Amino acid sequence: MAKVDRRIIKTQKSIKKAFLELMAEKNFDHITIQNISDRANINRATVYLHYLDKFDLLDKIMEEHINNMSNLCELEAEMDWIESTVHCMEYLENNYLFFSTMLASEGAAYFRSRFVQHNIEEFKKDVDITKGKNSGQSEDVVVEFVANAYVGVVEWWLKNKMPYPAKEMAEKVGDLLERII
């Protein structure tokens, strides 16, 4: 695989950061490519060199984080809920600007929907309705409940500027997940 030029990576990072900062300040509909290029201190044409428009930029950022979360979940398949949740919470903490903007500011309802769907797919792998505490339950109901509760707790954590450290929050959430799943 060809190595990507560091200048391209730096430029894309600058564009994404500028875009997320703007989304934290104002509604997506009011953000222009000119706003993004001004904030990133680059030419408008440079933004268009990397992204078709602001919708493409938003989609690429969301896709990147969803893929990162999926990869993280694959690595955590052998871990218990608490240990696995620690890694997820640390990822959320390390990418606070993105997640707080996408979830807490209600800047992108579409992302919340994709994030819930991602969690539904992940929790489906662990829900067993044939035995134990979820015996006789509807898998769809259990998975929807857990995924929406998880995303809701993440939203609360971010909106409140992470009142618990990632590890402590993960232990609390992991303990709750162990009770449900």
Instruction: Please write the tens of the pLDDT for every residue from 27-80.
Output: 888 999 999 999 999 999 999 999 999 999 999 999 999 889 888 867 766 677
Q: Which residues contact 181 (CB under 8 A, 6 or more apart)?
A: 81, 123, 126, 127, 134, 142, 146
Instruction: Give the domain 62-180 fold.
Output: Tetracycline Repressor; domain 2 (1.10.357)
CATH of 1-51, one of 2.40.160.10, 3.40.390.10, 1.10.10.60, 3.20.10.10: 1.10.10.60
**109 confidence band (pLDDT: 50, 70, 90):** confident
For the question of whether the overall pTM of this predicted structure is more than 0.95, the answer is: no
Q: Which residues contact 163 (CB under 8 A, 6 or more apart)?
A: 157
Question: Which ranges in the chain are annotated with CATH 1.10.10.60?
Answer: 1-51
How buried is 125 (Cβ within 10 angstroms: 0-12 exposed, 13-18 middle, 19+ buried)?
exposed
d(CA 168, CA 83): 11
pLDDT tens, residue by residue, 3-40 = 778 999 999 999 999 999 998 888 888 999 999 999 99
In this structure, are residues 98 and 65 in contact, taking their beta carbons and an 8 Å threshold?
yes
**173: three-class secondary structure by DSSP:** helix
Q: Which amino acid is at 1?
A: M
Percent share of the chain, pLDDT over 90: 54
Instruction: Tell me the CA distances in angstroms from 180 to 99, 126, 134, 138, 165, one per residue in order.
Output: 25, 11, 8, 13, 23
